[in-house]
Every structure is written in C-alpha cells, then in structure tokens.
Amino acid sequence: MGENKINNYSLCYENLCAEFHKYHPEEMARRSGAYYDSEKQQLTLTYFNREYLILYPKGTVTLKEDVQENFSKGDNRKIIDKTVILSYLYRCTKSNLTNKWVPFRELEGVGHAYDGFALQGINRLVKFFGNKGDLFLKAGLKLGGKEFTSGDVGLEIKVLPNVPMAFILWLADEEFEAEAAILYDYSATKELHVEDLAGLCSMAADELIGAAKKILEIGEL
C-alpha cells in the first residue's frame, strides 16, 4: 500500500474527527447501539467483537483493552477501522433489519461499482478455509458470531450493532472446488456508506483468517 494512499486514509479520519463535535453524542448512541458515558464523555462501540472508545467531542478512537495506545498509529488497516467506526456513527439510522440476505452487488445503489472488493474477501476465504469447515466455524464464534443455516458451514457475525453479515462456505471435495459467499441484510446501506460496506468484505475475511490462525497457534482445534 503506497504512502499516498495511507495519507489519504489518515486525512479522511482527521476530517471525520473535525466534524464529530457537530453530532449529539446521546443521539449517536441511540442510533448506533453504542453506549455513551456522559461523565467520561465517551462512547463505547463494539466492532468485530472488540470494544472501542470514542472520545467526545474530539472523535479520537482507541481500543478499550489498551486505552493508552491510539490503535491507528502506523497501521493502514487500523486507520481504516477508525474511519469505518466514525462513518457508522455519523450515518447509522437504527433501521429495522429486513432479514433479506443479499450479496454486496444487490444492495440498494451498489450495482457493480465496488464488486471487486467483495470478491477479494470471498476469494481469501475460499483459499484459506477451502476444506476446513470446523476451523471456519470456530473462527466465526471467536468473533462473536453464531451459526447460520446455509452451505456446508454458515456464520452470522454482527460486525457493528446494526450491520450483521453472513459468511457461507461450501467445502471442497473430490468433485467440486470450495466456494464461499458473503451476504448483508438488505438494510445495510442505511447504516454504512457503500464504500465502507465494500471494504468490510475484505476486512471480515482478514478477521476470520486472523482468528483461525490464533486458534491453530494455541491448539484449540
């Protein structure tokens, strides 16, 4: 990833922070599923099963487990995470879930504009988990997910309080190669910008693979 692109993400985050004071913290908490502590002037939001603290009115985001360290320092992925968190707090509506699961390209207003991002995530899931259904399931449970009835192994993970995602794996066998799918509730575009939703496909694959590697490292499988 080039330095210019990293700087662009940093600039985007800084711009979001600069606007944060314009939003009412209790209203953001109500719409987003976050918790607002008026004494500490901070919101607590769960993202990929980890709690993050967002200071008001500055908009700075830190990982709750280590509040002394700003988790975006020197890491492009973490800068993107921060941007997604603030973007969600700004945009979310707390609209009711439709329980209509669709691939990214079928979300309202998407078409094929960002479909490549979704395919990157799907391809990585297939490559890593192709015949490892048990590992796929355990990794999803580590991220706070639950079983989803579809494919050979299915998972539903609440990436953000209003943004559930489903991950489906069809295992490889002697006849067929492995396949995977990533689905969203049709309401997702009311909670996050299309570009952020596209990026979540790839980031979710990273999270699942990262959780799986930790499981293998400590011999939990």
DSSP-assigned letters across all residues of 119-140 = HHHHHHHHHHHTT-HHHHHHHH
Local structure of residue 221 (DSSP, 8 states): -
Collapsing DSSP states into helix, strand and coil, what is residue 76? helix
The CA-CA-CA angle for residues 81, 58, 69, to 5°, reads 55
Q: Can you give the C-alpha Rg of the chain in angstroms?
A: 18
Question: What pLDDT does 43 receive?
Answer: 98
Contact 157, 140 (CB under 8 A): yes
Question: What pLDDT does 220 receive?
Answer: 76
Residue 169 to residue 154: CA distance in whole angstroms: 6
pLDDT tens per residue, the chain (221 residues)? 455 555 788 899 999 999 999 999 999 999 999 999 999 999 999 999 999 999 999 999 999 886 444 443 347 888 999 999 999 999 999 989 999 999 999 998 887 766 777 889 999 999 999 999 999 999 999 999 999 999 999 999 999 999 999 999 999 988 999 999 999 999 999 999 998 999 999 999 999 999 999 999 998 77
Give residue limits of the domains in the chain: 3-91, 101-217
Residue 135 to residue 65: CA distance in whole angstroms: 26
Question: What pLDDT does 73 receive?
Answer: 39
175 CB contacts (<8 Å, ≥6 apart)? none
Residue 78 to residue 33: CA distance in whole angstroms: 21
